[in-house]
A and B are shown apart, each in its own frame.
Chain A
Amino acid sequence: EVQLVESGGGLVQPGRSLRLSCTASGFTFGDYAMSWVRQAPGKGLEWVGFIRSKAYGGTTEYAASVKGRFTISRDDSKSIAYLQMNSLKTEDTAVYYCTRVGPWLRAYYFDYWGQGTLVTVSS
């Protein structure tokens, strides 16, 4: 059974940093791209970014709203994906979901989701 478990959320002041982790199980983690999607309170879904598998270079892509501030990385030996969030803004307040990306190159849909972790940016 595929499982994705996020951790690291919490309350943080504007301008500070936070790192989220996503621990995966139930599949060969290194074979898949992994992504982060967020949802502000009472709002819709917003893609944050993803990291390709090592087979496709392990490269990353980001939404314009977070590019230059957020960094996604992965540790295939531990089956963990990370989201490093710097220079946080109040508008980054959201539930952050870790997702597995579809199994084919450029199949950038999200076939499994974690339960999410809440990040609140407030002074």
Chain B
Amino acid sequence: EIVMTQSPATLSVSPGERATLSCRASQSVSSNLAWYQQKPGQAPRLLIYGASTRATGIPARFSGSGSGTEFTLTISSLQSEDFAVYYCQQYNNWPPVALTFGGGTKVEIK
């Protein structure tokens, strides 16, 4: 099973500042990496797939980069609605299929 490790666990950022979140895979997942945002009491929402492609309706301030084992989610200028938990997920591990998520990064207001 591919282990996904996210860092930091918590990121304190002021509104308007840039946030950089990291996700590392225990082995290469090529570009088969997605990012999700989850707010308290809500279901997760897809932000990025294919490591760098924004999902439908996702603002341009969200960008993804990386390939292989190192990935980054960048939020260029944090808005109040961006404070949430972010998860990465790999979908390269097949067969057999074993989809795995990172442990999450909580982005909180500084």
Contacts and interface: CB of A to CB of B under 8 A. Distances in A.
Interface of A: 37, 44-47, 50, 61, 63-64, 97, 102, 106-116
Nearest to A62: B97
Given A45-B36, A64-B1, 18 more contacts: A45-B104, A47-B100, A50-B97, A61-B97, A63-B98, A97-B44, A106-B91, A108-B94, A109-B49, A109-B89, A110-B34, A110-B36, A110-B44, A110-B89, A111-B56, A112-B46, A114-B43, A115-B42
A115 B98 CA distance: 23
Contact of B91 (A108, A113, A116): A108
B8 to A, nearest CB: 15
B42 to A, nearest CB: 8
A111 B55 CA distance: 8
Interface of B: 1, 32, 34, 36, 38, 42-46, 49, 55-56, 87, 89, 91, 94, 96-104
Q: Which of A47, A97, A109 has the largest count of B CB atoms less than 10 A from its CB?
A: A109
B22 to A, nearest CB: 16
Nearest to B4: A44
Nearest to A108: B91
Nearest to B44: A113
A44 B103 CA distance: 6
Contact of B43 (A102, A108, A115): A115
A36 B5 CA distance: 22
A54 B100 CA distance: 24
A113 B45 contact: yes
Given A44-B87, A114-B43, A107 B49 contact: yes
Given A63-B98, A109-B49, A111-B55, A45 B43 contact: no
A65 to B, nearest CB: 11
A107 B91 contact: yes
A52 B71 CA distance: 28
A45 B34 CA distance: 13
A47 B49 contact: no
